[in-house]
A and B are shown apart, each in its own frame.
Chain A
Amino acid sequence: MTRFLKLFIKELLSMFLLIIGVTALLFLLFNLMPGSFPGKGLGGAEYLKLLRRLFTFQFGTSIVSGRDINTIVFPAFRNTLILTIGSIFLSILISVPIGIFSAYRGFESYSWPFVIFSYIMSSIPVFYLGYLVIYAVSRYTGYLPIYYPYGSERGNPLISYVLPVLVLGFGNESISEIVRLIANELKRVMNTDYVVASKARGESVLRSSINEGILIPLISIIFSKIPFLIGGAVIVEHVFNWPGMGRLAFQSTLNRDLPVLIVIAFLAVLCVRSGMLLKELILYYFRPGEK
């Protein structure tokens, strides 16, 4: 238990330091930017005020629109979270069965079409896949909405989640990585002594190797993929006109809206680091040797 607490405190401390570093760097870069715009040329006292605003989650007002940043950022944050988590689940849903299948049968048998499919899916750029899907869906079916019904009452927002989640789930590079990792790890674990021993007493191979063969590699790869997913989400959000953090960041960069940008960076750091913390905690639960 003390180890657990130590880990927790260490992670929290590193998160705090990272937030200070990121925001300070952004603040400095903004002050070095050419041109003149509101928010430029502020001193250290202003930075401390900014930190207080960030850590109390009262982000202040946007320079451009004059609205409260909380009302702008949190809906966008929620949308991105839905997109990211949904696409992660989709990736797992596709790649884990392929990985298990190819671990069981090897590449020689019928698993190779699936493996090749996963590699092709990972090598298509996300924006290209997005436009392809939009073209195919709008040209030939017309059932699914290709854009988020932004600011209008028409259409069901839930259905409009389908296409972006599908595209990001297939198109992020994690599918082939998960397939390769699980195929290798599971194959290795399936030949270890304890799995053979449990097979000798009639237990199923998959059940006894699921911890080391699937769960641990899957957890470590998924949580380390979160930063890339947020990056990939920027493109998908742009393609699908999805009101998420990525699009918001893009727009506020164009508008030079410093307060919003810093808040977005703050939330991204928070998201990525807490993902890492969660990974450590889950792995701690699964690895008995460290208890």
Chain B
Amino acid sequence: MSLLAELNDLKVYFYDQRDKRFIRAVENVGFSINEGTVLGVVGESGCGKTVTALSMMGLLESEPGIIDGQFFFKPSEEDAELIKQSLSRGVRKQNDYKKDTLFNLFFGLDRYVSFEENPFTIIKDSEKWLRRNNRIMEHIRGKNISMIFQNPEQSLNPFIPVGGQLTRTIKRFNREANSYEIKEKAIKLLRSVRLYRPEIVMSMYAGSLSIGMAQRVTIAIALCSHPRLLIADEPTTGLDTTNIYKMIELLEVLMTEMNLTLMLISHNIRIVSTIASNILVMYAGTVVEIGSKNYVMKTKKGPKHPYTEALVSSVPSDSDIKRGKKLRVIPGTVPNNKRKMDCCPFLERCPYAEGKIRQKCESACPELARVASQHYIRCYLFYS
């Protein structure tokens, strides 16, 4: 099991043109994914899960702002040389962008993104960097990292039938294949995502598919390039409960069939915990807890961030339902991300912040502390 991707200290800020200030979207996010494992990313809406995924793919374009951090990724061998070429363009020290076989896809970020208050400079700088980033990501998107989005119906082109989009994508990755082979492969892919009568689905448009079918089609399109890492951004939104678990099962089956690594983003920690080996809990744009599933999901004993505890208990388990336990909600909302992070972001909703420890929580934001091997928690309760 070798390291596939590693994200260090990701910072994403958007610039608010009207208020003339930066809005924090993601800060101090870092994790690593081993090949063949599943990383589950959990958190409420507005906690920066999608922004993290989009910035990994280099798809954050709509807004000017700041992106900072390091993203190491191990590409497939045939693409490694191309990525090396486009990364090392205009670089003096040759090995800065590399760590073993992993390439830093965010390399050169600090040269382009400035922190100046003048909005015009920021737009220009981030534009320049995005153009460079697009050149690098050409070899990454599709071939190495693929992504499926949270609204499957909208992420299919409404003007081209499903089969057309699928064959178009397959054709780009197998240039020599003839049209018959491509069609065969498309049908095979649609079968592998458990779609019945793929020949009929091929001629349908996105508008006439149900959400579950559309999600399966988007998975098929994302998989036709045999990516190494698949980022699934809330693949279960809009599905009913039985279909949610079917979809998760499908992802699990596809992982073993296609030798995939999965990054599963969801707001439901129980769904994620069914297949994830590592779980990352995000809150207000930061990581509050990261660790292997057994540590994070352990309900009774062991250290646990209050937010994770709240997340787990807000979705009832089977035994909870049998015992007739009442549903729990997390009081309050995610804090305003325009504010500077000068206290613990979970302070206002935390049931444990009382007495002496509350003074600590109010004074500064806690660091991510190691409580066990590969288990980190950002909370003063577990400072030793």
Contacts and interface: CB of A to CB of B under 8 A. Distances in A.
A126 B123 CA distance: 39
Interface string A95-116: 0000000000000100000000
Interface in B51-110: 57, 59, 61-62
B138 A202 contact: yes
A286 B159 contact: yes
A196 B159 contact: no
Given A193-B155, A211-B160, A288-B207, A200 B141 contact: yes
Nearest to A216: B159
A196 B59 contact: yes
A197 B148 CA distance: 7
A123 interface: no
Contact of A201 (B62, B151, B160, B225): B225
A193 B59 CA distance: 11
Given A108-B123, A196-B59, A288-B207, A201 B157 contact: no
Interface in A189-227: 191-194, 196-203, 208, 211-212
Nearest to A195: B157
Interface residues of B, number: 34
A201 B154 contact: no
A237 B158 CA distance: 43
A195 to B, nearest CB: 8
A288 B158 CA distance: 7
A203 B168 contact: yes
A289 interface: yes
Q: Which has the most chain B C-beta neighbours within 10 Å: A192, A196, A208? A: A196
B147 interface: yes
Contacts of A208: 157
B158 A200 contact: no
Given A197-B149, A202-B225, 20 more contacts: A108-B123, A191-B61, A191-B62, A196-B59, A197-B156, A197-B218, A199-B59, A200-B57, A200-B59, A201-B141, A201-B221, A201-B222, A202-B172, A203-B142, A203-B172, A211-B159, A287-B159, A288-B158, A288-B160, A289-B158
22 contacts: A108-B123, A191-B61, A193-B149, A193-B155, A194-B157, A194-B158, A196-B149, A196-B155, A197-B148, A197-B155, A197-B156, A197-B218, A200-B57, A200-B141, A201-B141, A201-B147, A201-B221, A201-B225, A202-B142, A203-B142, A286-B159, A289-B207
